[in-house]
Amino acid sequence: EVPPSSRRYPVQRLPFSRADRAHVAFFERLMPGRVVTDPEQLEPFNVDWLKSVRGCSKLMLKPQTTAEVSQILRYCHEMNLAVNPQGGNTGLVGGSVPVFDEIILSTLLMDRIISFDKVSGILVCQAGCILERLNQYLEEQGFVMPLDLGAKGSCHIGGNVATNAGGLRLLRYGSLRGTVLGLEVVLADGSVLDCLTSLRKDNTGYDLKQLFIGSEGTLGVITAVSILCPQKPKAVNVAFLGCQSFDKVLETFTVGRAMLGEILSAFEFMDEKCMELVQRYLKLSSPVAGSPFYVLIETSGSNSTHDEEKLSSFLEEATASGLVTDGTVATDEKRIKANVRVVCVLQQALWELRERITEALSHEGYVYKYDVSLPLGRLYELVTHMRARLGTSASSVVGYGHLGDGNLHLNITAESYSQALQDAIEPFVYEWTARCGGSGSAEHGLGFKKKQFIHYSKPQLAISVMQRFKAMFDPKGILNPYKMLPSSP
């Protein structure tokens, strides 16, 4: 059984009101049939995806419109009821589930595409749209979403924006801070902040949307998003390569960036332990074996012949210089028509080796997950140090991630949760990262589990300024309490 969040990470409940029958009756009048109080139905929304923390909310609301969200928050603000905004509940730091009995405000039914402009590539949609479905819709129009995540089948675009999710396409298309053009946000008192612009350039005053991107639902509830979408690449190639050391991985990245240039869309790496786990638990097969490290490279462009020539030249150079010892390539499926399905499946199979590592790790028991940014030259050192530090007290210590943006996913597994093991990991992992000039969170955010370590990445004045913003936007502290920021003095 997953223990309550407050037991594993000690915290005291703040003096919020508790939802009673009168409150439930108000919400039932507002949203007939979309108020959930049944404990069994609430259970999966009270537990995070990792099954590492659990809340005890007795009430979930499923609004369909911004107006309903506004009325909910206005009422909760007046009644001093705490609210936990929740999208697809795929977060990995305990930010998407209640800590105590906060009301769950779910965006599950806010899944309408509002508009799409094929000339500009600008999509406007409600916050509850699932990322994969948005991508499928856009592909039919000749476009793609600028972000791609392993959780794309269930995560919501509003949650992606609220956590500033990075993912697999950041190297090519940049972060959400650059691709999100506008937001509609409901503030704690029910006010609707309409900054849902579809302009590429708007230099009038403060860029307010940036406050909410990465705010993890603590400043307002995102209800709609305007996002710039790139055209779907006409030529996609995927290469899966084996390298004998992490230094070789770094050199391969340097050569790849120089030779592939603008068509390089992803550069992912994983160690041999990751490969062992996806093969053992998920029965995936790899065309490349026997290497300490593996690299997945994707190119995306508009000309198959041009892209394949560049990729071939790069692979020849990498092989001739000893950077790569083995590899396979899945070339553009549109060009090789005789093998369309075969090539398409191969590309997907290669990506699964990387994308399903998190799933494979969960089969080992409890997973301690860390998501840090580090200078590239020191990216894998943390894994090596942690293996030596923990020894046999951990089942596995693995490292994988987005090499193109210096993002390491450090994962440590054990048969079950152990406070002693967690104490051996934290705060060491954050101290080590800070000494290297890194960040304790590259893309997962801080949520509930990591908030006490923010000072390793931000100076005290920066934290104080954040707390002032929180106090201004949410003076009663009802929005996603106990998350992201340490308690104000």
Write the pLDDT tens digit of every residue in 218-274: 999 999 999 999 999 999 999 999 999 999 999 999 999 999 999 999 999 999 999
Q: Domain ranges in the chain?
A: 5-109, 113-228, 235-361, 366-399+406-443
pLDDT of residue 334: 44
| Mean pLDDT on 352-376 | 93
Backbone angles phi, psi at 424, to 5 degrees: -75, -25
446 near 3, Cβ under 8 Å? no
For the stretch 284-296, pLDDT in tens is 988 888 999 999 9
Query: For the structural domain made of 113-228, what CATH number should be given?
Result: 3.30.465.10
Q: What is the pTM (predicted TM-score) of this model?
A: 0.92
Q: How confident is the model at residue 1 (pLDDT cuts 50, 70, 90)?
A: low
For the stretch 450-480, pLDDT in tens is 999 999 999 999 999 999 999 999 999 999 9
| Mean pLDDT on 186-215 | 94
CATH fold of 5-109 reads 3.30.43
Burial level of 489, CB count in 10 A (0-12/13-18/19+)? Answer: exposed
For the stretch 153-167, pLDDT in tens is 999 999 999 999 988
Of 176, 160, 166, 169, the C-alpha closest to 210 is 176
pLDDT of residue 331: 73
pLDDT of residue 487: 75
Q: How confident is the model at residue 332 (pLDDT cuts 50, 70, 90)?
A: low
User: Does position 339 have pLDDT exceeding 80, yes or no?
Assistant: no
- 235-361 matches 113-228 in CATH topology: no
13 DSSP 8-state letter: P
- In angstroms, rounded to a whole number, what is the distance separating the alpha carbons of residues 268 and 254? 13
- In angstroms, rounded to a whole number, what is the distance separating the alpha carbons of residues 346 and 294? 16
Q: Read off the tokens for 202.
A: 């708007």
User: Does position 335 have pLDDT exceeding 60, yes or no?
Assistant: no
For the stretch 28-87, pLDDT in tens is 999 999 999 999 999 999 999 888 899 999 999 999 999 999 999 999 999 999 999 999
User: Does position 341 have pLDDT exceeding 80, yes or no?
Assistant: no
| Mean pLDDT on 20-32 | 98
- In angstroms, rounded to a whole number, what is the distance separating the alpha carbons of residues 351 and 328? 12
Q: How confident is the model at residue 338 (pLDDT cuts 50, 70, 90)?
A: very low
Burial level of 197, CB count in 10 A (0-12/13-18/19+)? Answer: middle
- In angstroms, rounded to a whole number, what is the distance separating the alpha carbons of residues 232 and 173? 12
366-399+406-443 sits in which CATH class? alpha beta
- E strands of 179-292, at which residues? 180-186, 192-195, 221-228, 235-243, 264-271
State the average pLDDT for the chain.
92
Q: How confident is the model at residue 5 (pLDDT cuts 50, 70, 90)?
A: low
pLDDT of residue 170: 84
Q: State the CB neighbour count (10 A cutoff) for residue 302.
A: 11
Match domain 235-361 to its CATH number in 3.30.200.20, 3.30.70.2190, 3.40.50.12280, 3.40.50.410.
3.30.70.2190
